[in-house]
Amino acid sequence: MLLCLLVIVMLFGSVSTANAQQTVIEREAARVETLRRISSSIVCVMDPKGQGGGSGVLISADGYAISNYHVTSGSGTFMKCGLSDGKLYDAVIVGIDPTGDIALIQLQGRSDFSFAIPGDSDQVQAGDEVMALGNPFLLASDFTPTVTYGIVSGVRRYQYPANTFLEYTDCIQIDASINPGNSGGPLFNIEGRWIGINGRASFEKRGRVNSGAAYAISVNQIQKFIEHLKCGLIVDHGVAEFTVATLDTGQVTVAQVSALSDAYRRGLRPGAEVLSFAGRLLTSANDFQNVLGIFPEGTRLPLTWRDSDGLHEGTIRLRPLHAFQKAPELPQERQQQPPEDPEKQDGEEMHADKPAGEVPEPLKSLFVARDGFCNYHFNEIQRLRLLTALKERVASNGDPKPAWVIAFNAADPGPQLVGELTIAASAVGLNLNNRPFLQSTTDPLVEEESPQLPGLLVAMNQLRRLLSTDAAEFTEQQAAGRTFHLPLKKDVDVLLTREGVRTCRWYFDGSSALPVGVDVEYAQGIDEARLLFTDWADRNGAVFPGRIGLISGVREELRWLNIDSVSVNRPSATEKTKP
Amino acid sequence: MTTCVIHALERVYRTALILTLLFASGRCCALQSDFRATDEVLKSQQQTIVKLFGAGGGSLDSYGTGTLVSGDGHVVTVWNHLVSTGYLTAVTADGRKFTVDVVGTSAEYDLALLKLRSEPGDSFSCIDLSKVSDPDPGTPVLAFSNMFHVATGNEPVSLVHGVIAARIPLEATQGRWKFPLKSPVWLVDAIINNSGAAGGLLTDTKGVPIGLIGREIRHSASRTWVNYAIPLTTLKPVIETLLSGKKLDSRPTDSAANTRMISDQELTARFGLTMLPNVVERTPAWIDTVAKDSVAAKCGLQRGDLIVLVNDAIITSVTGFRQQLAAFRSGERVSLTINREQQLLPVELQIP
């Protein structure tokens, strides 16, 4: 009996010991293997002289890498980057997101860089194991990254700008050691998926060294900015044009609403309870701030709220927060410090000037300075990608000057509409159910729009400009990143055009060279004209959509106009009837 | 004979059995290096933590942490400046906000028992004082605290992982204040004693309560920051006494231990400072002379300067200034605030 027990105990004991041992060893082996795999994507970011610096992570084989804005802002336009292969690569600044403390750079000289695979940072939870990689204290002269291990201390943290414009929203708090030089380096989950960029820590009494509380910008936020950054932009964050407060009862209510805002026009008023924003349920004003901070300016987001009339939903476009025209300067204490002496006080040892090292000749063509852009060279690449294909596709439209006459009809929802649009260089005319509307293209007035189809005339004028083969039709054109389109519910590339006060966002979904929609801002305090385009075809020598959707009204209803016929080159009737 | 043999064998087996059990459990414990805790453990521990808010200023934080020890809303925390401010509020894990009363304190254990002013029907999750235990050094632990005030409202407090490094008596100070507890505390290998963390909870990865996170203090010998928690097994009888309504010792006011001060001679010899003579009961801390090339001269002090603050302590008299200076050790940096011609100026002084 005892013998039996003894054997069982010994067996159990040894087995469980062996199991525990095996698990620890296996987990270590898995970690080592993961690190071996991800280390080659880690970048040591330095100025052109190979000085100072921080960390970064490669995100594509063609050398795009993400770092912190506060790392690259001190390094100038061109940088030297060290990889774990021990080699030094040239790199150029591509785009910046100063508020989000993110910078996109491109390493040169290879097309087969190793890169990190992003995970889903929304799935990260407190208690998850994480690894931070980078070059703290610039310890490795051969650029072998330093690894620190920790757990997630909290998620969806909000860290105030604190005397700067750097704002960490919805970020991941970790207890892995983060020290000077780690900035811009990636945070990985234990499976080796990239989940964030380590950029901030709570430095206090113990000096500028790890305090056990550091913050990583979530990869899901960064992903929303990457295509904007690739366009060489100074990407801005947004404001919602209304403020919220948390009640003691845990409800989030509207404090103030700008009367000129999208939200106001959708019917949002002070006192309403905001239930969700961008699809996330809100339980505090901090939640709201967190959601707001993860989107680039210009994004259209859904909002759900409740007031005495019941439940409402609508979409609002984020307006610019800072509208930087040039890369903004950081206060000294937020610039990347030479990290040799953590005991030194803030700002004690700074680069007196921005470094001016030798820039190799072939690199110089990779940078074009222009106001409002981080690096216009990259905007040109993206802009031409969209525009060249478009112009080729509409080449058959030929001379833009003759008038286009478009007959259309619309059925449900709403009353039956039959109309004829005449789009000419000087004016746009609409005959809708035998009611005439006429608008000059040089000085369009809001009151000249039809009440049933508001914004249609101004949008048609813009469409004619886009579809003409003359690129000089707009005073300004730029690639403006990628956004999730509502109501199309898909990612689309954005081409932004300006002509006078009229700003258009043209949306391209990659399926064709022609746009799938446009949003036209044409007057302050008036809803944008929001159009969708489908069934593009050549009709009588004009490339034109077969159906045009128009979103309008408090409830943002979508109404489809079926194009019956398109004719061009007829004498311009509108020219003659112009008063 | 056979019986004898059987008995002998039984004894051998029994010893072997005990040894095996000991060995097996010991090995398992030593190999336990997993910091992962289940979601249920993390969520249930989070429910027992409250965020405290009071008055602060300078390096004294206006926020802190407390741990719920009764379903009625009793909270324990460290007896620091926050408790002494007299106006305290607490926010529970679900975002409810309460005014807080101080029920009892113990200077010896650096402990304060608070009570949330709750309404009838309010209930609270709390740690189970009957389940507190003492782990072995090497045990993985989790620290829950409102450090750096990262979490607000109903947001979960910060979580830090570490390992019990040692169980030792602690000799440490915070300015002139000396850590009072004589019995051993837990030392942890992670930075758990951050701003606002005092009063937070240390548990093992199964959620067993182990300790109450202490203050930000430096070790007396090395002057390095200490990461410690007071064992809940030590605090349990104290908490129970306070819960029963009994009063414990109050804090000694400026006792002999705290009256050490730098003499006038030492002040002149070491710092090069001569103060205005202490003629009345509260002579202000006016500088009379500053010796050339002295420490005081090098940091910019001048004749006629009035010392107003030493770090964050208000100086009301020359005696107070000499007492404050006595708390620092050679090499430490002290920030003085002086009044010079109606202007407040910061001066950094390195203790010679």
What is the predicted pLDDT for the residue at A542?
A: 84
* Structure-block tokens of residue A98: 């100063």
User: Going along A446-575, which residue ranges are E strands?
Assistant: 476-485, 490-499, 502-508, 517-521, 529-534, 537-539, 542-544, 547-552, 557-570
**What's B66's DSSP letter?**
E
CB contact under 8 A, B152 and A284: yes
What is the predicted pLDDT for the residue at A23?
A: 83
Map residue B43 onto helix, strand or coil.
Answer: helix
This prediction has a pTM of: 0.83
Residue B159, chain A, CB below 8 Å: the answer is yes
Given a cut of 50, is residue A349 above it in pLDDT? Answer: no
Could you tell me which residues come within 8 angstroms of residue A342 by beta carbon, excluding any fewer than 6 positions away? A179, A180, A207, A208, A209
What is the predicted pLDDT for the residue at B325?
A: 85
What is the predicted pLDDT for the residue at A52?
A: 74
Q: What H or E segment, with its residue span, contains residue A23?
A: helix A2-38
Tell me the Ramachandran region of residue A239: left when phi exceeds 0, alpha when psi lies from -120 to 50, beta otherwise.
beta
| Separation CA B260–CA B255 (nearest Å) | 10
Q: How far apart are the first and last CA of chain A?
A: 113
What is the predicted pLDDT for the residue at B7?
A: 54
| Separation CA A172–CA A157 (nearest Å) | 6
Size of interface A-B (CB pairs under 8 A): 123
Could you tell me which residues come within 8 angstroms of residue B237 by beta carbon, excluding any fewer than 6 positions away? none
Q: How far is CA B234 from the centre of its chain?
A: 15
Could you tell me which residues come within 8 angstroms of residue B78 by beta carbon, excluding any fewer than 6 positions away? B64, B110, B111, B112, B198, B199, B212, B213, B214, B215
Stretch A308-328: mean pLDDT: 95
| Angle in degrees, 0-180, between the axes of helices B2-31 and A2-38, rounded to the nearest 10 | 20
CA-wise closest residue to A208 among A177, A186, A172: A177
Annotation marks residue A153 as catalytic = no
Map residue B214 onto helix, strand or coil.
Answer: coil
Q: Kindly report the CA angle at A218 between A325 and B46, in degrees rounded to 5?
A: 135
What is the predicted pLDDT for the residue at B30?
A: 36
| Shortest Cα–Cα distance, B30 to chain A (Å) | 10
With residues binned 3-state (H G I as helix, E B as strand, rest as coil), the percentages for chain B, rounded to 5, are: 25, 30, 45
**Regions of chain B with pLDDT less than 70:** 1-35, 58, 86, 249-259, 281
Annotation marks residue A101 as catalytic = yes
Q: Is the bond into A454 cis (omega within 30 degrees of 0)? A: no
pLDDT digits (tens, 9 = 90+) for A219-239: 999 999 999 999 999 999 999
Judge contact between A55 and A71, C-beta under 8 A. yes
Which residues in chain B (37-66) have CB-CB distances under 8 A to chain A? 37, 39, 42, 59
What is the predicted pLDDT for the residue at A354?
A: 46
Stretch A68-81: mean pLDDT: 92
| Separation CA A74–CA A328 (nearest Å) | 11
Beta-ladder partners of A233: A373
What is the predicted pLDDT for the residue at A21?
A: 61
| Separation CA A321–CA B30 (nearest Å) | 54
Residue B95, chain A, CB below 8 Å: the answer is yes
CB contact under 8 A, A157 and B147: no
Q: Which of A116-125, A330-339, A519-528 has the lowest mean pLDDT?
A: A330-339
Could you tell me which residues come within 8 angstroms of residue A26 by beta carbon, excluding any fewer than 6 positions away? none
Amino acid of residue A264? Y
Annotation marks residue A70 as catalytic = yes
Judge contact between B346 and B337, C-beta under 8 A. yes
| Separation CA A165–CA A161 (nearest Å) | 5
Q: Which of A82-86, A152-156, A570-574 has the lowest mean pLDDT?
A: A570-574
Judge contact between A98 and A69, C-beta under 8 A. yes
Stretch A96-102: mean pLDDT: 96
Residue of B194, B202, B218 to mutate when probing chain A, most A C-beta within 10 A: B194
Assign 3-class secondary structure to B218-272: EECCCCCEECEEEEHHHHHHHHHHHHCCCCCCCCCCCCHHHCCCCCHHHHHHHHC
The β-bridge relationship of strands A537-539 and A542-544 is: antiparallel
Q: What is the mean pLDDT of chain A?
A: 88
Given a cut of 60, is residue A573 above it in pLDDT? Answer: no
CB contact under 8 A, B20 and A202: no
DSSP-assigned states of every residue in B47-59: TTEEEEE---BTT
* Structure-block tokens of residue A284: 């505090």
| Separation CA B231–CA B185 (nearest Å) | 6
pLDDT digits (tens, 9 = 90+) for A531-551: 999 999 988 878 899 999 999
The closest CB to that of A213, out of B27, B147, B216, belongs to B147
The closest CB to that of B158, out of A23, A154, A248, belongs to A154
Residue A8, chain B, CB below 8 Å: the answer is no
pLDDT digits (tens, 9 = 90+) for A438-482: 999 888 888 899 999 999 999 999 998 898 866 567 889 999 999
Given a cut of 80, is residue A74 above it in pLDDT? Answer: yes
| Separation CA A90–CA A106 (nearest Å) | 8
Could you tell me which residues come within 8 angstroms of residue A541 by beta carbon, excluding any fewer than 6 positions away? A396, A397, A398, A568, A569
Contacts of B147 in chain A (CB under 8 A): 202, 212-213
**What's A137's DSSP letter?**
G
Contacts of B33 in chain A (CB under 8 A): 24
What is the predicted pLDDT for the residue at A347?
A: 32
Q: What H or E segment, with its residue span, contains residue B294?
A: none
Q: Which class for A81: exposed (0-12), middle (13-18), buried (19 or more C-beta within 10 A)?
A: buried
Given a cut of 60, is residue A136 above it in pLDDT? Answer: yes
Residue A24, chain B, CB below 8 Å: the answer is yes
Judge contact between A28 and A68, C-beta under 8 A. no
Could you tell me which residues come within 8 angstroms of residue B41 by beta carbon, excluding any fewer than 6 positions away? B203, B205, B206, B207
| Separation CA A353–CA A47 (nearest Å) | 12
Q: Which of A39, A41, A55, A70 is catalytic?
A: A70
Q: Is the bond into A355 cis (omega within 30 degrees of 0)? A: no
**What's A447's DSSP letter?**
G
Stretch A147-174: mean pLDDT: 92
Contacts of B160 in chain A (CB under 8 A): 151, 153, 175, 212
CA-wise closest residue to B150 among A200, A294, A100, A122: A200
Tell me the Ramachandran region of residue A311: left when phi exceeds 0, alpha when psi lies from -120 to 50, beta otherwise.
beta
Could you tell me which residues come within 8 angstroms of residue A348 by beta carbon, excluding any fewer than 6 positions away? none
Given a cut of 60, is residue A128 above it in pLDDT? Answer: yes
Map residue A540 onto helix, strand or coil.
Answer: coil
Q: Which of A24-33, A138-147, A329-338 has the lowest mean pLDDT?
A: A329-338
| Separation CA B235–CA B213 (nearest Å) | 12
What is the predicted pLDDT for the residue at A199?
A: 94
Given a cut of 60, is residue A574 above it in pLDDT? Answer: no
What is the predicted pLDDT for the residue at A20?
A: 59
| Separation CA B340–CA B255 (nearest Å) | 33
CA-wise closest residue to A200 among A343, A70, A53: A70
Contacts of B21 in chain A (CB under 8 A): 9, 13
Which residues in chain B (254-293) have CB-CB distances under 8 A to chain A? none
| Separation CA A509–CA A513 (nearest Å) | 9
| Shortest Cα–Cα distance, B249 to chain A (Å) | 31
Residue B349, chain A, CB below 8 Å: the answer is no
ipTM, two decimals, is 0.86
Given a cut of 70, is residue A357 above it in pLDDT? Answer: no
The closest CB to that of B28, out of A2, A6, A20, belongs to A20
Contacts of B63 in chain A (CB under 8 A): none
| Separation CA A281–CA A274 (nearest Å) | 9
What is the predicted pLDDT for the residue at B18?
A: 45
Q: Which residue has the tokens 């010994």?
A: A10
Q: How confident is the model at residue A9 (pLDDT cuts 50, 70, 90)?
A: very low
Query: Count of CB atoms within 10 A of residue A49's CB?
Result: 13
Alpha helices in chain B (DSSP H): 2-31, 39-46, 81-84, 232-243, 264-266, 295-298, 318-326
* Structure-block tokens of residue A315: 């979409």
CB contact under 8 A, A24 and B31: yes
Query: Count of CB atoms within 10 A of residue A400's CB?
Result: 18
Contacts of A16 in chain B (CB under 8 A): 24, 28
What is the predicted pLDDT for the residue at A75?
A: 83
Residue of A2, A4, A175, A343 to mutate when probing chain B, most B C-beta within 10 A: A175
CB contact under 8 A, A286 and B152: yes
CB contact under 8 A, B158 and A153: yes
**What's B73's DSSP letter?**
-
